[in-house]
Structure 1
């Protein structure tokens, strides 16, 4: 049975005016193993069209083309891919070697597309290149060898998968006479090994070497002459294992993308650097938010004991309809913030005995301490001689206060008061320790005053909280004061002392689950954190606008790459690349651009962040940029995703290119 049979094959093209043009007319012919066939004819006679149909590059025809009894007209994409990988090899007039790959990679390309193991494909490629006399040139690029050597590389590439059919399009058209003879000897030897070799040529010299000459004119076969019987001496099968129906792997696609990016290194580097600016900006904005939040939280926490949990009664929500249908989440948030602010500026509800008992009974609570705290504007004040200072915070001293913030003197005892640094500075230029001041408070509806001796100063000029005016006395002194005014002091804040710092967090969670509130400081910190989060994300979103520009830039570059590599895409399809493989190569290139952009952006962010932190440390003694691990991961992920999204249209365009038209592109 013939290897290749054409039965009543007709081929039509659409020309101007949408009129059909018949390029092949009722072509019927068959070819056997070992034949060296020359297809000759004038330009436009239909030779190339016939070659493209036999090679499976063009599947739009009428009639039947049978390869070992299988009709190419019924092939699907997967069938053509297998046909190109295993059964047919191409040798082109202009060699069609991929310029940025060395000779070894050019020859192994067909096996790379078939996902053959690296060891197998290198071994086989070296064998074939050695047969072509190119052992000493395998790592050279195509532009480093002669035309005859290029053609031998093209022949090696066609033979490497041991196909049944070799199709050669003017294989000697670009060679001198001596080299032509050498190439023809190689091609004749291929036919003698049992391959069907079909050559399209204008040359009588080439046709004279063939065992059969098929003449075509105006789309029809006009002559079919045999010069000799098939040249087959012995059918030689390569030791090359069957390719199977494997396809290009992800890692092979990455390698091909890397080789192409290396060829256009300066351009791709500029694209990566340009894209990295957006990533750097987003990371820095998020890092700035992290730094500010960390600074605020650390400053707030530095004033409290990590073993102590401050507890307040729930805010009065009477009259609030939290579950009403017309309540939106935004309105709920606003009301919650208003209640928190109101609770910070007024005395909290007092604890009852049953509240104290259930809090003291919580697991891991070592002891419970009663306290009193009040925030006010203008109602409370401290006076010394003729100087006076308003008190924003008045509270009883407790174990919640951090001893490291006691910068002068001692904690207050009976008849003593502790002042913040800002209050002490307003009352006197020198030390206030040991001096007697007058504290005026509004207790209920009464305005009362009492004298205290200053025992210590809380906070320092370098502390961020030192500007907050505050005064502290013992709970016992305040209770005596209330009794002296015929009033009862009820604690509005309690402090739960834990065994260890690890227990503090669990106690806070349990207290919250029971419906109690945390400290005013925590509420204020949470409010600041929420505002900082919103501001950080807004700044990051603004910085992220540059990512859109990056995506457009990558889109443009990949489109240019498709145009530049149109012929390469045609070669890959002729070697058995699927549409999916072509897409994968371009998407891999975009992936690498995104990966490199992300890495460069992260490096820039660390470098710029280091410079900013050096400045802020010198000026504010605070590192303001803090790049978290999640910021790094997110920046890298965003860079890769944006690049891959930008590659969608170019990769689709590349995959959809017609191989026949692509191979014609110069």
Structure 2
């Protein structure tokens, strides 16, 4: 029965002039026979073989395989046909140099979906049949010409094809070896069709079942043509059309092939990977420094800024409402609809006040109750809540012989601390002594924390210093730079005077005590004398100070002063009067409100400071505060300020900007190395052109060839990424040592493992992109041309 039939096959080439290689060839071939095709060079023999093998395409006519026409074959069909039905034996052997003998034979089966164990077993069997059982692990260059040709025959047979195509199989062999090869082919022809192109007429006559002679693209003679009876018999049988299973080279197989190829050029591969790693090293070190600095700054901010309170203050504030204001105030993006830097001859008028508003916080009893629940609702988020009151504290001091007024009317409590000074030198202690002692040490013999309204502590800086102005407020004017801690511990040198004693009524007006009255008031039995029970100094490992140098009193004293002031005569009279009870001048509503607060008639706090336990808990506190505003109108909302967030945002933006700029510079070298890898891949394509042809001849698809070189670039990219990341981790050691010696900061360069993984993946992606064009070029190579290359 006919295995293969050519019907009026024509093929022309256009290489400047049109050359007709085959002129309407019609031939049939039996299922098993050894057919030799003879003829002078250039007569079309090899073209015919390439068309039968699916490496080349005919222009017209038809190639019928087992009754199946190939006119409608797609590229994938031809690839599958070569893999399943065709085995090639070439004059120049066409073995892949970086593969072993066993791997060369296995190559066709890697495209057929055969398991690894079965591939090895079948390849070994095929090599045993051609007498090469002892040479399985050798490379082709370790074999003789005859042995290499036998490897090629084993490769052609291993996938059990229907047709063996041999192009000058003995052309490069001596006569003795040629006979050995022909004996093998003769044996093969007993079970399948073998078509051999040769110039050796003697061998053809001796071994062939059939000889076809070619001349100028036409059949001149056929020694054993298919008889008419055989043709009729074939036509009577139902043609069993076969669909070839599609071939596919897995990424693992492609990677293995590429890896073996790269190992044959270890030096160049490593140099290429190292060059590619330079850009990775640059980006990695920038990210390492950025990550380390970010961690350091976050730690510093956590330590330094965690003591900055979230502040809710009263009074009129101008709020920026661009997009959305703080506290959830409805915003307005006034720039919408405008173009930046317009070139038109136009000028616009707009209302800048649309993007801002004047807002006054009104602290109500309801809000104070809501704040009071904060420590219960978020027990692990808040260290302390302090309330600022505008009431004047009538404080006298007697540090030396004469009592003096300790002025307390200056910057509001909390503001001085945030700005690094406190010109009042007077502040309220948190109620939680454990929290205070977690940040401060009690220094000096016999010191302890205050326990009531009549006890205070002295706060010094880390050098045991307090500003000279503080001592002047105490009435200590002697010119000295040194004091003993015990000069103050246990001493009573301050006294709070009640309003009713401090202010004297004269008709409708009140007069504050004169300096000449201070001594009498200080020695009187009324009022609250304050004893210094201890001295606080911040701990060495605390980077920021919650308290400022000066006097710190208890919340009990605050409560006592507010209660006394509220009941005082001057507060009661001021409450009922529209005039200033001290000056007799008329007061508007705002001025009267301020006067009532200062005299204690209005006990509503003028501000609230909420101190989070740690920096990260600020967000929870702010979320809690925002919930209060959810159902409130803009006028009734209370907005807060967070100095720490503003500072953190500025430093974060600065660090991000520097990171982006440095990464941009490092990316330039990464881009250059990527281009270089693309060039190296192109060189590899040129070097492996013959391998491309071999793979196509055994059924590899274009996408399989592309995948092969993509795998190579991925390996180089992975290697470059790993080298870059590895060297970056090594470079961290001297970098951190230098920075530690210069700046006293340890661990600044610290590459995040996630960033390292991303860099390796990014390196692979970049090299894959770089190799995309070369891999496409490889896939488009003509297999016939590729096989002829050297």
Q: Choose 158-167 or 482-491, whichever is displaced more.
A: 482-491
Aligned counterpart, 1:285: 286
Aligned counterpart, 2:20: 22
Change (3 A) 1:379 1:118: closer
User: Which one of the candidate residues 749, 754, 767 is aligned to 1:643?
Assistant: 767
Change (3 A) 1:533 1:571: same
Aligned counterpart, 2:194: 197
Deviation of the 1:317 alpha carbon: 4.6
User: Which one of the candidate residues 453, 462, 470 is aligned to 1:421?
Assistant: 462
Change (3 A) 1:123 1:632: same
Q: Mapping of 1:181-260 within 5 angstroms?
A: 181-192=179-190, 194-208=191-205, 209-226=207-224, 244-260=245-261
Q: Is the 8 A contact 2:306 2:612 kept in 1?
A: no
Number of residue pairs aligned between Structure 1 and Structure 2: 616
Where do 5+ consecutive residues of structure 2 fail to align? 228-242, 324-330, 340-359, 389-412, 469-479, 495-514, 519-529, 571-594, 630-638
User: Which one of the candidate residues 618, 624, 642 is aligned to 1:510?
Assistant: 624
Aligned counterpart, 2:3: 3
CA distance in 1, matches of 2:674, 2:89: 39
User: Which one of the candidate residues 552, 563, 568 is aligned to 1:473?
Assistant: 552
Q: Is the 8 A contact 2:305 2:544 kept in 1?
A: no
Q: Is the 8 A contact 2:56 2:784 kept in 1?
A: yes
CA distance in 2, matches of 1:378, 1:137: 83
Deviation of the 1:132 alpha carbon: 0.8
Deviation of the 1:260 alpha carbon: 1.4
Q: Is the 8 A contact 2:105 2:155 kept in 1?
A: yes
Q: Choose 34-43 or 398-407, whichever is displaced more.
A: 398-407
Deviation of the 1:547 alpha carbon: 1.6
CA distance in 2, matches of 1:529, 1:463: 22
Deviation of the 1:661 alpha carbon: 0.7
User: Which one of the candidate residues 606, 609, 613 is aligned to 2:732?
Assistant: 609
Task: Give a deviation string over 1:509-546, Cα, whole Å, max 9, x none.
Answer: 32355465464234322332232223223322321222
Q: Choose 133-142 or 533-542, whichever is displaced more.
A: 533-542
For residue 424 of structure 1, give the secondary structure of its aligned residue in structure 2.
coil
CA distance in 2, matches of 1:145, 1:278: 43
Q: Choose 116-125 or 416-425, whichever is displaced more.
A: 416-425
CA distance in 1, matches of 2:68, 2:61: 13
Deviation of the 1:105 alpha carbon: 0.4
For residue 247 of structure 1, give the secondary structure of its aligned residue in structure 2.
coil
Output the TM-score relative to the length of structure 2: 0.70
CA distance in 1, matches of 2:259, 2:7: 45
User: Which one of the candidate residues 620, 631, 642 is aligned to 2:755?
Assistant: 631
Q: Is the 8 A contact 1:151 1:171 kept in 2?
A: yes
Change (3 A) 1:127 1:300: same
Output the TM-score relative to the length of structure 1: 0.82
Aligned counterpart, 2:407: none
Deviation of the 1:472 alpha carbon: 6.7
For residue 223 of structure 2, give the secondary structure of its aligned residue in structure 1.
strand
Q: Mapping of 1:511-590 within 5 angstroms?
A: 511-514=625-628, 517=640, 519-590=642-713
CA distance in 1, matches of 2:70, 2:244: 20
Where do 5+ consecutive residues of structure 1 fail to align? 230-241, 332-347, 383-389, 440-448
CA distance in 1, matches of 2:112, 2:726: 38
Q: Mapping of 1:457-472 within 5 angstroms?
A: 457-458=537-538, 465=544
Q: Is the 8 A contact 1:87 1:165 kept in 2?
A: yes
Q: Choose 620-629 or 312-321, whichever is displaced more.
A: 312-321
User: Which one of the candidate residues 347, 361, 385 is aligned to 2:373?
Assistant: 361
For residue 98 of structure 1, give the secondary structure of its aligned residue in structure 2.
coil
Aligned counterpart, 1:50: 48
Aligned counterpart, 2:506: none
Aligned counterpart, 1:74: 72
> What's the Cα RMSD here?
4.0
CA distance in 2, matches of 1:311, 1:222: 105
Change (3 A) 1:518 1:156: farther
Aligned counterpart, 2:237: none
CA distance in 2, matches of 1:104, 1:562: 24
For residue 312 of structure 1, give the secondary structure of its aligned residue in structure 2.
strand
For residue 455 of structure 1, give the secondary structure of its aligned residue in structure 2.
strand
